[in-house]
């Protein structure tokens, strides 16, 4: 992925809230969807190939596949995409909390000459974090604050009365790896920050339910030998999916248009 040329048409895995925004703003040549969703995808995307397998994607000849379907899609389709020489842009980086999966994907990409591309997502400051890492990081804390409704359907609902919160409440505090496993739809950015910083076990994460918020707020605080970094991104939540910020989709669009990714593996 170079910084000099905009990408041509891409393929999407998934056509949900993020996929629809990406498809509206970026040339898309194919979409891989789950059984039962092909008809609606074809109706919404006339002229775009709607397929049910990575093998079909490979026959179309596109260079880049963008995952927009969750951690399960990374595990299910990632190796097959990379093995066919296509680059894979991953939004659901929480899948990388499974170190064995991450290592397999990197090995497959290395053999096939393909790459995994990680956009910034709904955060900022990854460039500064990567720079600090070059001379050593002492600590990295990532805090993700969202309205209580964004934590419905997560372990937080079992331990807190989300409807009755009167102020910011920490619902998880611990390493990034565990955050991604326990909150797979909320903590992808925790893993993205960890990959840019101290790793999955040493990067600290706090997840906060805040009734005073209407959108989602991510904050990185890092200390290293070269200096300190504090950066906050406050993004509007997707109306149909309050767990995700709108800017997540546009980080993909920006990466595709500029030909750059925040991180590239292997």
pLDDT tens per residue across span 167-202: 999 999 999 999 999 999 899 999 999 999 999 999
- Residue pair 50/30 in contact (Cβ under 8 Å)? The answer is yes
Question: pTM here?
Answer: 0.93
Please compute the mean of the pLDDT values over residues 99-111 and round it to a whole number: 97
pLDDT of residue 7: 62
What are the start and end residues of each CATH 3.30.360.10 domain in the chain?
126-245
CATH number of the structural domain 126-245 = 3.30.360.10
CA pair distance 199, 52, nearest whole angstrom: 34
Q: How many CB atoms lie within 10 A of CB 74?
A: 26
Q: What percent of the chain has pLDDT over 70?
A: 97
Average pLDDT across the chain, whole number: 95
Q: Nearest CA to 210 among 142, 154, 147?
A: 147
pLDDT of residue 6: 55
pLDDT tens for residues 56-99?
Answer: 999 999 999 999 999 999 999 999 999 999 999 999 999 999 99
Alpha helices (runs of H) in 29-171, residue ranges in sequence order: 38-44, 54-60, 71-83, 99-112, 126-133, 156-159
Please compute the mean of the pLDDT values over residues 123-152 and round it to a whole number: 97
Residue 8, exposed/middle/buried by CB under 10 A (0-12, 13-18, 19+)? exposed
Asked whether residue 8 carries a pLDDT value surpassing 90, the answer given is no
pLDDT tens for residues 13-57?
Answer: 999 999 999 999 999 999 999 988 999 999 999 999 999 999 999
pLDDT of residue 2: 39
- The topology under which CATH files domain 10-122+247-265 is Rossmann fold (3.40.50)
Asked whether residue 1 carries a pLDDT value surpassing 70, the answer given is no
pLDDT of residue 3: 36
| Exposure string for 146-176, b = 16+ CB within 10 A, e = fewer | bbbebbeebebeeebebeebeeebebbeebb
């Amino acid at each position: 992925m170079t910084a000099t040329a905009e990408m041509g048409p891409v393929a999407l895995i998934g056509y949900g809230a993020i996929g629809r925004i990406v498809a509206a703003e970026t040339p898309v040549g194919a979409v891989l969807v789950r059984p039962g969703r092909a008809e609606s995808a074809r109706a919404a995307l006339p002229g775009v190939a709607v397929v049910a397998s990575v093998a079909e994607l490979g026959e179309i000849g596109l260079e880049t596949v963008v995952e927009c379907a969750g951690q399960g899609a990374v595990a299910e389709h990632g190796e097959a995409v990379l093995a066919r020489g296509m680059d894979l842009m991953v939004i659901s980086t929480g899948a990388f909390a499974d170190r064995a999966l991450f290592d397999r994907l990197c090995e497959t990409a290395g053999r096939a000459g393909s790459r995994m591309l990680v956009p910034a997502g709904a955060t900022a400051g990854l460039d500064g974090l990567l720079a600090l890492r070059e001379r050593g990081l002492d600590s990295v804390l990532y805090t993700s604050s969202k309205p209580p409704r964004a934590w419905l359907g997560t372990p937080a609902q079992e331990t807190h009365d989300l409807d009755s919160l009167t102020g910011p409440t920490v619902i998880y505090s611990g390493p990034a790896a565990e955050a991604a496993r326990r909150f797979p739809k909320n903590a992808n950015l925790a893993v993205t920050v960890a990959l840019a910083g101290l790793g999955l076990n040493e990067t600290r994460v706090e997840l906060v339910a805040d009734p005073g918020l209407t959108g989602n707020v991510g904050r990185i605080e890092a200390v290293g030998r070269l200096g300190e970094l504090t950066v906050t991104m406050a993004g509007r939540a997707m109306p149909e999916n309050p767990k995700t910020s709108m800017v997540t989709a546009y980080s993909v669009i920006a990466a595709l248009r500029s030909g750059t990714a925040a991180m590239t593996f292997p």
